Amino acid sequence: MDVRRVVIVAYEAAELLEIASVTSTLESANWHGALPYYEYRVATPGGHAITTATALTLDAQLALERVTGPLDTLLVAGGIGHEDAAGNPLVVGHVRRLARESRRVASVCTGSHILAAAGLLDGRRATTHWMQAQEMAARFPKVIVDPDPIFIRDGNIATSAGITAALDLTLAFVEEDNGTELARTVARNLVTYLQRPGNQAQMSMFVSAPSPANSLVKRTLEYIGAHLRDDLSTSALATEAGVSERHLTRLFLKHLGETPGRYVRLARTEAAAHLLASTSLPMASVAVRCGFGTAETLRQAFVDRYGIPPSRYRLTQAPAAG
């Protein structure tokens, strides 16, 4: 078995957690082979140590301009220094050069801006940190920016969402290279047994707080979360809130960018995802608990939200045995 050669491109104010998520995952995989699966190195301009986005210093093992292929994987980190790096001809030029000599090219978070600056994402679907997606789409109009998925594969190029999505992407690489069992073992070692499929949305509605500016909307969201199996039609919610359907819809669109009906469907789907990942309840029971009524209605909503059926989602979330 040949060791897979991985180079991680970093620069001033790159995000340390992203780099560590990649290297820790690869090193954990190496623990379980008779020989290492991966040889990984951090490359920076000039091979100089960098001050990361968290103000810690990180030494490099390679000078970016001296790296030569062939490489198995070239991965570009993100971080608050991504704009300077994307505007640096040395960084962009050598990323472009090394991409031609790599089997697989990837970026984490705003590292996608550097791939885009190198022209590697033209005509491709790509993602980035959800906060930077609009800026990326405006700056690189040839790139098809999708802010929702945790990571996207388009040909031999993969882009991922922000920071800890590096873990999901690298686990996906380990699974692709070495099989599901090793990937699950690594995930268990890292205490991240939930291996999220790439098309899972970056931002959960349950952790993205609604605007506190409107107390009625906030109360309605709390009511929805506590009554998922009840009648949550727009008319029922309007009655509960003491306003007209039209006014409630206007408030939801203003503060959430969703209609009440759409929000309810998303809330039920995410609640179902949680039950599928954390319980062994039959599909029909999950559907009833979350207000879908039937397993088929749940399946349709799940495919719309995550791009995979709930049965497949449950398999991807199962922790390794033992």
The phi, psi pair for 125, rounded to 5°, reads -75, 140
Residue 203 falls in which region: left (phi positive, over 0), alpha (psi -120 to 50) or beta: beta
Q: What DSSP element (H or E) covers 116?
A: helix 111-117
CA distance 162 to 131: 9
CA distance 37 to 296: 42
Write the DSSP symbol of residue 65.
G
CA torsion sign for 280, 283, 285, 291 is positive
SS3 119: coil
CB within 8 Å of 304: residues ≥ 6 apart: 269
By DSSP bridging, strand 157-160 and strand 151-154 are: antiparallel
Q: What DSSP element (H or E) covers 303?
A: helix 295-306
Are 189 and 142 contacting, i.e. CB atoms less than 8 angstroms apart? no
**What positions carry a catalytic annotation?**
109
Write the DSSP symbol of residue 149.
B
* Residue 273 CB-density burial (10 A; 0-12 exposed, 13-18 middle, 19+ buried): buried
